[in-house]
């Protein structure tokens, strides 16, 4: 992308003065006043500002992004040259953010003429525009052309140029309010193409052999159902079974079952018997000798409760998971950040009004943490986990949530915060029932429950000890935290001594052979709920906990 005009402004003070006034592109105002960054992590350089507190940034691909002082941002040109064409050709461009080429030439020219007449009441722009265009080598374009350039640039803002507050992580609003296609439409585009190929009888092996393409084709078939699709649905079902239990496997079984063909019952039974997960996930399926009406009834019930024909009814995490699978990482990230921002704003309003945050957001926050971790975005995962921690209602869940919070803080290099979180975790363990041995204690811990009474013999206990050692090890590089690191190390030793003999031996053996720890269990990447380590106190009890495996990250 060309930044020829920007270089000329930097080299020729007279041109820079003209750009600053009357066109409000001032190279001396490049300080935005607060730290910002792109959600994608891409390069961002502040190059100029205006007299309203707005700032112009050049992105890694040369695109120019404008951020105002009210928390909105948008791409205004695909290059520095293009952005300056817009700024010089449309000095009142802020007033045209709602205009689009579809509004027609008459409306566009009338709006531009009205704004420029108002500007001329205070200072000239015509001679100045001619001089600056000539000095920068910018072509003379009509207002209609310039609105077209601005409109196209604005629509490119999200997802690749989503601007965040660097400290808090919240996203800026879009500078314009032009409608965008829904997330599901962008995600399903490839699936619709592949479904067409399958219906034409081509690319069966290519689509069915690729996990991401197969899943998308099945989702496309979910929302575009045709009577003649049964053969291709059977083919996709057989291949999806190779991935074990997935949402798309259940969908494929439902789409096949809805046709109500008796000859499909043996196939569905075979798929259900693939492994233990598929046997559980496809529970309730009619047996191979059942009546076809039973098959259709089973499929309809599942379709009504889990799928349907309206893509807007699907959970957000369905689409972000599918976006991630096909490499649309920034599309998934932007949608997840927007959802987290909504929850964060509600939490802020509740706190302002003296109300407790609503429990309804707990499962969404847990899923957001997991999804962000899948994207490798620990920063946003940490932000979601902070909101998730206070929503826990049992001592066990509180400790599990604090444990994950400490890990995320450690991975983000926030060692002081991780040390304080572990201190809160130990406080919870020290409550009357939290620190009791199995069968001991009569008081009530967090939430008046006894869920932590046997933590010393569970995987959770092992993870707690290992995270203490991991924080102590990584925080040791920060000499300012020397006293806190010693305290964490001592606490780790005391907690280790409280573990059961087998659990302690497993942890010691694991610590001797690894340099990192993993403190949460795996879950499917596109579910609405996520279970933290040991979230079920009964299922989590084990006298011989499996040693945690090193984190892939």
Q: Give the least confident one: 281-285, 343-347, 515-519.
A: 515-519
Question: What single-letter DSSP state applies at residue 37?
Answer: E
- Residue 531, pLDDT > 70, answer no
- Residue 539 has a pLDDT of 36
Average per-residue pLDDT for the chain: 90
Please indicate whether residue 41 or residue 526 has the higher confidence score (pLDDT): 41
- Token digits for 179? 């409608």
The pLDDT score that the predictor gives to residue 541 is: 37
pLDDT, average across residues 495-517: 83
DSSP string over 300-328: HHHHHHH--S-GGGS-HHHHHHHHHHTT-
**Tell me: the pLDDT tens digits for 222-243?**
999 999 999 999 999 999 999 8
Is a pLDDT exceeding 60 seen at residue 186? yes
Write the pLDDT tens digit of every residue in 132-172.
999 999 999 999 999 999 999 999 999 999 999 999 999 99
DSSP 412-470: TT-HHHHHHHHHHHHHHHHSTTTTPPTT---S--GGG--TTTTGGGBHHHHHHHHHHHH
Token digits of residue 465: 């000890």
Contact 257, 227 (CB under 8 A): no
For helices 362-374 and 378-388, give the axis angle rounded to 10 degrees: 160
* pLDDT at position 81: 96
**pLDDT at residue 122 is higher than 60:** yes
What number is the average pLDDT over the span 55-78?
Answer: 97
pLDDT score of 197 more than 60: yes
Helix (H) / strand (E) element for 519: namely none
Q: How confident is the model at residue 343 (pLDDT cuts 50, 70, 90)?
A: very high
Give every CB contact of residue 118 below 8 A, 6+ residues apart in sequence: 92
Question: For residue 26, what are the β-bridge partners?
Answer: 49
Long-range contacts at 358-366 (CB < 8 A, ≥ 24 apart): 359/391, 359/393, 361/387, 361/391, 362/388, 362/391, 362/392, 363/528, 363/529, 363/530, 364/339, 364/528, 365/340, 365/391, 366/529, 366/530, 366/531, 366/532
**Looking at residue 357, what is its pLDDT?**
82
pLDDT at 498 over 80: yes
Distance of CA 419 to the CA centre of its chain: 26
CB contact set of 420 (below 8 Å; sequence gap of 6+): none
What span, in angstroms and rounded, lies between the C-alpha atoms of 86 and 46? 18
Q: How does residue 23 score in pLDDT terms, banded at 50, 70 and 90?
A: very high
* Range in 188-202, 268-282, 415-429, 508-522 the model is least confident about: 508-522
* Contacts of residue 340, Cβ cutoff 8 Å, sequence gap at least 6: 365, 368, 380, 383, 384
Q: How far, in Å, CA of 480 to CA of 32, rounded? A: 31
Binned at pLDDT 50, 70 and 90, residue 431 comes out as confident
Tell me whether the omega of the peptide bond preceding residue 94 falls within 30 degrees of 0, making it cis. no
Q: Count how many Cα atoms sit within 13 Å of the Cα of residue 420 in the half-sphere of its side chain.
A: 5
**Residue 329 pLDDT greater than 70, yes or no:** yes
* Phi–psi pair at 418, nearest 5 degrees: -60, -40
Name the pLDDT band for 513 (thresholds 50, 70, 90): confident
What is the mean predicted confidence (pLDDT) over 486-492? 97
| Cα 444 to Cα 448: distance, rounded to the nearest angstrom | 4
Higher pLDDT pick, 515 / 433: 433
Nearest to residue 539, comparing CAs of 519, 521, 525?
Answer: 521
Q: How would residue 512 be classed by pLDDT, with cut points 50, 70 and 90?
A: confident
- Angle in degrees, CA 305, 306, 309, rounded to 5: 95
In percent, the amount of the chain with pLDDT more than 70 equals 89
What is the per-residue pLDDT for 453?
Answer: 84
> Residue 515's pLDDT band (boundaries 50, 70, 90)?
low
Cα–Cα separations (whole angstroms), residue 461 to 56, 370, 473, 486, 542 = 51, 22, 19, 20, 10
pLDDT band, very low/low/confident/very high, at 535 (cuts 50, 70, 90): very low
- Residue 358: pLDDT above 90? no
Per residue in 288-303, pLDDT tens?
Answer: 999 999 999 999 999 9
Band of residue 506 on the pLDDT scale cut at 50, 70, 90: confident
The predicted structure's pLDDT at residue 503 = 85
The pLDDT tens digits for 379-396 are 999 999 999 999 999 999
């Amino acid at each position: 992308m060309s930044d020829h005009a920007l270089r000329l402004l930097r080299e020729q003070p007279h041109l820079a003065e003209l750009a600053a006034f009357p066109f409000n592109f001032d190279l001396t105002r490049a300080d935005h006043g607060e730290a910002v960054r792109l959600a994608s992590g891409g390069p961002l350089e502040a190059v100029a500002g205006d007299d309203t507190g707005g700032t112009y940034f050049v992105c890694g691909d040369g695109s120019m992004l404008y951020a105002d002082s009210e928390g909105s941002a948008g791409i205004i040109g695909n290059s520095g040259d293009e952005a300056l064409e817009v700024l010089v050709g449309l000095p009142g461009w802020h007033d045209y953010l709602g205009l689009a080429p579809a509004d027609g030439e008459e409306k566009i020219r009338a709006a531009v003429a009205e704004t420029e007449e108002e500007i001329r009441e205070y200072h000239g722009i015509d001679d100045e525009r001619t001089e600056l265009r000539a000095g920068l080598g910018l072509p003379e374009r009509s207002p209609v052309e310039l609105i077209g350039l601005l409109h196209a640039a604005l629509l490119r803002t999200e997802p690749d140029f989503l601007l965040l507050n660097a400290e808090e992580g919240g996203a800026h609003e879009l500078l314009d309010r032009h409608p965008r296609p829904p997330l599901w439409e962008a995600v399903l585009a490839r699936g619709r193409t592949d479904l067409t190929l399958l219906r034409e009888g081509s690319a069966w092996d290519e689509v069915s052999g690729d996990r991401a393409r197969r899943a998308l084709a099945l989702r496309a078939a979910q929302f575009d159902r045709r009577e003649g699709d049964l053969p291709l649905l059977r083919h996709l079902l057989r291949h999806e079974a190779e991935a074990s239990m997935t949402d798309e496997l259940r969908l494929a079984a439902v789409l096949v079952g809805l046709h109500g063909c008796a000859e499909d019952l043996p196939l569905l039974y075979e798929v259900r018997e693939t492994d233990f997960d598929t046997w559980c996930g496809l529970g309730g399926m009619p047996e191979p000798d059942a009546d076809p009406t039973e098959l259709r009834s089973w499929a309809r019930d599942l379709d009504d409760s889990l799928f349907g024909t309206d893509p807007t009814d699907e959970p957000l995490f369905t689409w972000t998971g599918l976006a991630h699978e096909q490499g649309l990482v920034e599309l998934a990230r932007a949608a997840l950040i927007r959802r987290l921002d909504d929850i964060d704003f509600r939490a802020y309003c509740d706190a302002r009004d003296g109300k407790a945050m609503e429990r309804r957001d707990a499962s969404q926050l847990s899923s957001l943490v997991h999804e962000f971790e899948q994207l490798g975005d620990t920063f946003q995962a940490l932000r979601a986990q902070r909101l998730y921690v206070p929503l826990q209602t049992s001592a066990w869940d509180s400790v599990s949530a604090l444990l994950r919070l400490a890990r995320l803080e450690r991975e983000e290099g926030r060692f002081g915060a991780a040390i304080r979180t572990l201190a809160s975790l130990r406080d919870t363990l020290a409550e009357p029932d939290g620190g009791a041995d199995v069968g001991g204690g009569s008081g009530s811990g967090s939430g008046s429950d006894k869920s932590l009474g046997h933590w010393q013999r569970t995987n959770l206990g092992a993870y707690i000890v290992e995270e203490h050692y991991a924080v102590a090890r990584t925080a040791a590089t920060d000499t300012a935290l020397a006293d806190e690191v010693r305290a964490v190390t001592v606490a780790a030793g005391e907690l280790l001594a409280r573990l059961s003999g087998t659990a302690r031996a497993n942890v010691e053996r694991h610590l001797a052979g690894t340099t990192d720890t993993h403190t949460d269990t795996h879950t499917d990447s596109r579910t609405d709920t996520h279970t933290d380590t040991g979230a079920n106190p009964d299922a989590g009890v084990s006298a011989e906990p499996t040693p945690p495996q090193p984190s892939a990250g």
